[in-house]
Structure 1
């Protein structure tokens, strides 16, 4: 991995650590003010927002960064991309925001059966327009491989959100209702996004103070077709995913009710799992997200160079595995302590313990998906995500009813994360270039991980919580296996 990419990873990682820490603090602050039921409603509101955000600008950031990176030597192209798409997508996002406003009562009344939300999500409707413009500018900066402005914009966003929203919360929290608190939570999202867009726009204008742009119809047609042919499959996948997420938000709490919980308890359990436990498990994704963001432009830039392509793919995959394994051990050893520290909620720690064994698969799926997008396999990603999401949603209901436990919901998610990784690695291994780390080596790693996953499952099922010795053996065995794999690769290269 060359120095330029390492510098980008370091910058993004440092900024992402700060960004995620600030946003995570915001979520923890919010969760303590609105409680587990409020977090369930907050999850429903954000799901609705992400659905319309995906329709408005899903895949745009990736498509723009890919297009600019592939045409980095074309003079004036990147400025034209920003100019053309900012106008087209502004009109499009306005239309989607209006659609959001019209359909909001239907979703809140009939899909989520949470009518109190329909008067609270108006800040998120405005967010759709703001975030679409931000996606264009972020795609521009990532395309020219200058990740600093987008990274700093996200830091600035979270600082502004915390500095404005938290004091308001502390002022009115003792006398305000849950509805007021939820409205303030969503308003904080809007305030942060406006500040992020302002920072990005100032950074862009500082770099290109008065760009002389000559646009004709052929430029508009070319830019639009090249960007949208990448963004539409990604946006479609994102929209389908959010539709399935909406169904999940509607079905899973109802299923929890069937197995003996009240409606309030069902929403609370769902809110703890998706608003506390999963966010805690994915907090270290800040580093993985740094990788996934720069994968598209860096891989797009080197697709004609097989040696460089192999090197970067191998580095991304192995770094992801190296990060996820220690994280798995930490969350297995101290799930309750972590969740008590963050949320003052020990039940979130119980769920986190069940999520932890599959962390490596959740992390790898993020990187593998970005690799496939960079290698022009966005359509494959769309089909895979759609099929697996539908199958997972179907599998949730009988499994929860059979075992009469919300833990089944987590383990179905874990199993499908594993399946997704295996299929994506199989696809990458069979693309039209020589993949240095051979497919059987990758599957050897996965077989080892699956064995560990099964052992963790047995230990958890038997209520054996003292796993320090096993984890030491796990890391030792994995390190030994990795050593022999690299030794094998080195000897093959020497031949």
Structure 2
């Protein structure tokens, strides 16, 4: 019997872990929606425009670059360089994450009131920053193993994170939840507990189970490896930071523009919570498969490019995109048909069901966008990815500013569809 490729095996492992964690995540959101309500779900979602800026600065560029470097070095038979670049990346990300966490903690009041206009976000942001160093360590080790083509550790770690998050939320809900001045804080504390537990497992597993391979050759100098890391991570970080800033601006503007339409800030944050905390995560559920493909594609594309193996590159791209598009078509029919019923049964919300039906038209292109971005990054076309994503987000922001105040949340959904379709067309034209 022919043995399946590491790419297929890795994708299946990551998919299984993602599906399991998404199911747990759905239970978590259903439980939270009943416990703290749609408005506090919106408060919880509001901290991420600021929180994710820290992620973009400290992690995203470095972890993606690390995965690419490890894949390329292993293709050349240099495992010593892989271990050394991991240590360098860990030192950089830990330092950056601690600095960023301290900044967010001490300036939380000014950031939340000036940009979010919601005082309940202040304690949530202060609590969330404690997870940042743990996320940094975990992200580096996961990227190292993805670069090696071994997704087992990231998969199990993801499941542990979700289980720990649920247990943390439950522990708070039965102990001192009533003493919390801001109910949304329970979701943040659960998130911090999940990241800590997942990081602890990741570090222990890596130290105890990772085998030290050797080629018998001396490792490259730290200066050379650090230079390689910076040369790859700098454009990726700029890309991630630019996109995150635009996404943060988008998420800050949505409740503000909704307030202009509804003339009620409380209801606007509630609608924002239903959309981003209930409907969009459900639409993103099938992306647990496409995300796995994207994660495994990046090191495979990087390795194939380093080896000039264009046949493998073409096959991996062709089959991945075909599968993602087919999944999008199936998901469209599923959510368009069952969306209203899902909203009522799962979240007891007619609005959530309405959003699911409207967002179903997004599925065929939504699941393609992440895979196309991963292929472009693996090919080293980070500037193209940055430009395309920026244009897409600017279009979406234009819809938020000019259309949402006139027609409400439907304006945002129209902008989401138009921008996603645009970025898929731009990505595909460049790859083709």
Query: Considering the TM-score relative to the shorter chain, is it more than 0.5?
Result: yes
Maintained 8 Å contact 2:17/2:159: yes
In the alignment, structure 1 residue 14 sits paired with structure 2 residue 37: no
Question: For 2:155, which of 151, 154, 157 is the aligned residue?
Answer: 151
Q: Is the CA contact (8 Å cut-off) linking 1:109 and 1:115 kept in structure 2? A: yes
Whether 1:123 aligns to 2:118 is no
1:189 aligns with 2:220: no
Correspondence for 1:414 among 407, 413, 417: 417
Q: CA RMSD in A?
A: 2.3
Contact 2:81/2:219, CA 8 A, preserved across alignment: no
Q: Is the 8 A contact 1:37 1:264 kept in 2?
A: yes
1:317-328 aligned at under 5 Å gives the runs 317-328=321-332
Aligned to 2:65: 63
Q: Which has the higher contact order (CA 8 A, sep 6+)?
A: 2
| Residues 1:378 and 2:374 are matched in the alignment | no
The counterpart of 2:354, out of the listed 326, 350, 354, is 350
**CA distance in structure 1 between the aligned counterparts of 2:208 and 2:180, rounded to whole angstroms:** 44
CA distance in 2: counterparts of 1:95 and 1:357, whole angstroms: 42
Name structure 1 gaps, 5 residues minimum: 430-495
TM-aligned CA deviation for residue 364 of structure 1 = 0.5
On the 8 A contact 1:158/1:192 being kept in 2, the answer is: yes
What's the offset of the Cα at 1:163? 2.1
CA displacement, residues 303-344 of structure 1 (integer Å, 9 cap, x when unaligned): 211111111100110010121111110100011111223212
Inter-partner Cα distance in structure 1 for 2:126 and 2:318: 44
Shift of 1:149: 0.6
Shift in CA distance, 139/171, structure 1 to aligned 2, threshold 3 Å? same
Cα offsets for 1:96-149 (capped at 9, x unmatched): 112222332222111110122212322211111111111110111001100001
| Match of residue 299 from structure 1 | 301
Q: Give the C-alpha shift of residue 65 in structure 1.
A: 1.0
For residue 314 of structure 1, what is the aligned residue in structure 2? 318
Distance 2:174 2:240 in 1: 36
Q: For residue 204 of structure 2, what is the aligned residue in structure 1?
A: 202
Post-superposition shift, 1:31?
2.1
1:34-433 to 2 correspondences below 5 Å: 34-72=36-74, 73-173=77-177, 175-176=178-179, 179=182, 181-208=183-210, 219-303=221-305, 304-402=308-406, 404-429=407-432
Could you say if the C-alpha distance between residues 342 and 238 of structure 1 is closer, same or farther in structure 2, counting changes exceeding 3 Å?
Answer: farther
Query: CA separation in 1, counterparts of 2:276 and 2:161?
Result: 23
Q: Deviations over 1:379-398 (max 9, x none)?
A: 11112222321232123222
Q: Pick closer, same or farther for the CA change 1:122–1:245 going to 2, 3 Å.
A: same
Q: For residue 11 of structure 1, report the CA deviation from its aligned partner.
A: 1.1
The secondary structure found in structure 1 opposite 2:403 is helix
Question: Any idea what the Cα deviations from partners look like across 1:360-387, whole Å, max 9, x if unmatched?
Answer: 1111001001010001011111122223
User: Normalised by the size of structure 2, how large is the TM-score?
Assistant: 0.93
Taking a change above 3 Å as real, the CA distance of residues 197 and 279 of structure 1, as seen in their structure-2 partners, is same
Secondary structure class of the residue paired with 1:58: helix
Contact 1:358 / 1:414 at 8 angstroms: preserved in 2?
yes
2: distance between equivalents of 1:242 and 1:106? 20
Distance 1:34 1:25 in 2: 14
User: TM-score, normalization: structure 1?
Assistant: 0.81
Shift of 1:171: 4.5
1:75 to 1:53, Cα distance in 2 relative to 1, 3 A:
closer
**CA radius of gyration, larger in:** 1
Separation in 2, partners of 1:172, 1:210: 46
CA contact (8 A) 1:276 1:343 kept: yes
Q: 2:290–2:370: 8 Å Cα contact kept in structure 1?
A: yes
Measure how far apart 1:27 and its partner are: 2.2
CA deviation after TM superposition for structure 1 residue 230, in Å: 2.3
SS of aligned partner of 1:115? coil
The residue number in structure 2 matching 1:474 is none
Q: Is the 8 A contact 1:160 1:195 kept in 2?
A: yes
Question: Per-residue CA shift, 1:403-441, capped at 9, x if unaligned?
Answer: x23111111111110010000000001xxxxxxxxxxxx
Aligned residues: 426
